[in-house]
Amino acid sequence: MIMLAAVLVAGLTGQAPAAPAAPVVLPPESQIAAAVQAAPEDRRMGATVLGYDAAGTVVTLRAGVNDIVCLADDPKEAAFSVACYHKDLEPFMARGRELAAKGVKGKEREETRWKEIESGAIKMSREPRTLHVLSGSGFDPATGTIADAYLRWVIYTPFATPETTGLPIRPVPGGPWLMFPGTPTAHIMISPPRPSK
């Protein structure tokens, strides 16, 4: 629809439509300030922070001293989202980014990583490891605030099942449930109710 409108405008005005704006990559300090907000407050200062350089490549913006890794918002994505997770999840997360860059997404990406975990190509802890995901409608570098902030949690518990956890396998509004039960990336989803505007 957007493309059709652009073509119509070009036909009516005799001018070519403007090229899409290049993604805006925030300065490292702003990426760090936004990314660490997904982590528990007492773990933010020592977290490693990954972000994006001018070319859109994931780079280390800050080396950390604890077991938390935070990932800044991807400037190529329209929605704002940052995440922090236990460092043991980084091989799994890095492989996910690599596959997504190649266009491998959804179920295919999950199944690829399951096979790689089972073969030992990706190291995945058998102990629970947590991912904190913070989304919103945008980040204001001047104030350091995320508009419409919404925090949810994912606790990776490889090969967990309803029988081993006592959890349901379908979403429960505001409550925990088990996704991908019995797989190498089984995880507990906790999505609290969104705050009213």
Tell me the one-letter amino acid at 13: T
* Predicted confidence (pLDDT) at residue 189 exceeds the cutoff of 50: yes
Q: Which two tokens stand for residue 21?
A: 């704006």
Q: Which residue has the tokens 């913070």?
A: 134
**Under DSSP, is residue 35 helix (H, G, I), strand (E, B) or coil?**
helix
**pTM attached to this predicted model:** 0.85
Give the ranges where the chain is alpha helix by DSSP (H). Answer: 2-13, 28-35, 90-101, 106-119, 162-165
What is the crossing angle of helices 90-101 and 106-119, to 10°?
Answer: 140
* Predicted confidence (pLDDT) at residue 2 exceeds the cutoff of 60: no
pLDDT of residue 8: 36
pLDDT of residue 82: 98
Q: Which residue has the tokens 């449930």?
A: 177
* Predicted confidence (pLDDT) at residue 12 exceeds the cutoff of 90: no
pLDDT of residue 6: 41
* Predicted confidence (pLDDT) at residue 5 exceeds the cutoff of 60: no
pLDDT of residue 197: 66
Encode pLDDT of 79-116 as tens digits.
999 999 999 999 999 999 999 989 999 999 999 999 99
Q: Which two tokens stand for residue 169?
A: 């396998």
Give me Rg for the CA atoms of the chain.
19
* Predicted confidence (pLDDT) at residue 75 exceeds the cutoff of 90: yes
Domain spans in the chain, listed from the N-terminal domain onward: 23-155
- The rounded distance, in Å, linking the Cα atoms of 135 and 39 is 12
For 1, counting Cβ atoms within 10 Å of its Cβ (0-12 exposed, 13-18 middle, 19+ buried), the class is: exposed
Q: Which residue has the tokens 């290049």?
A: 22
Of 12-21, 56-65, 95-104, 143-152, the least confident = 12-21
Share of the chain above pLDDT 70, in %: 88
